[in-house]
Structure 1
Amino acid sequence: MRKTKGFTFPKIFSPPHKPPLTRARPFRAYSSVPFSPFAMLDPTILTIGGIVLGIALIERILERWGVIDLLDQFAKVMRFILPVTFYSALIYFFVTFMF
């Protein structure tokens, strides 16, 4: 009877070549995102802000004159227009802002 010889897996197949591990040198990373409060000086944003302030002043004037019916109708319209204007200006600001 013949004697069989056993082989282990690493002896039959050589392990794949692995490059030696090298450590990366540490480096300092700086953010290049320029955020400045002067970015809010966009003419479109300033125009929308001026319109909103104008609407608030008109409401105050109508309240002082005592024209409550007209003020109530004005407030109903502005309750829809002001949030739409605000979110539109916010979306416009982030779309046109250079990151």
Structure 2
Amino acid sequence: MRRTKGFTFRKIFLPPHKLSLPRPRPFRVYSFVPFSPLAILDPTIMTIGGIVLGIAIIERILERWGVIDLVDQFAKVMRFILPVTFYSALIYFFATFMF
């Protein structure tokens, strides 16, 4: 009777020779989300919003005091300033926001 010899897998198939690789260089990871809620906290946008909010509060206070003529003047000016301010701030936000 013939005797069979057993081979282990490791002896038959030698593992490939691994070269010692240097440590991988770090790479930057960018987010695919184009909008961050923290970007709204831009000081310029906050200042413009504060000024507009302040003018609206002053207008309400003058209305309670009964100075209707001055409130009408504020309303006429704000009818033009509010849309211009909003669109200017929107353009500024998207022009300075890093995508």
Compute the TM-score of the two structures, normalised by the length of structure 2: 0.66
Q: Distance in 1 between matches of 2:41 and 2:80?
A: 26
Structure 2 residue aligned with 1:86: 86
Could you tell me which amino acid in structure 2 is paired with residue 57 of structure 1? I
CA apart distance, 1:38: 0.4
Q: Gaps spanning 5+ residues in structure 1: where?
A: 1-29
The Cα of 1:81 is off from its aligned counterpart by 0.7
Separation in 1, partners of 2:34, 2:73: 44
Cα offset, 1:75, TM superposition: 0.6
**Which AA in structure 2 matches 1:63?**
E
Cα distance in 1 for residues equivalent to 2:72 and 2:65: 13
Distance 1:81 1:96 in 2: 22
Q: CA deviation at 1:32?
A: 2.7
Letter in 2 for 1:43: P
Identity %: 90
Structure 2: gaps of 5 or more residues: 1-29
Structure 1 letter corresponding to 2:98 = M
CA–CA separation in structure 1 for the residues paired with 2:48 and 2:85: 8
Counterpart Cα distance in 2 of 1:92 and 1:41: 13
TM-score, normalising length from structure 1? 0.66
Q: Which residue number in structure 1 is paired with residue 44 of structure 2?
A: 44
Cα RMSD of the aligned pairs, angstroms, is: 1.6
Partner of 1:54: 54
The whole-number CA distance in structure 2 between the counterparts of 1:40 and 1:84 is 19
Count of matched residue pairs: 70
| Per-residue deviation, 1:31 | 5.8
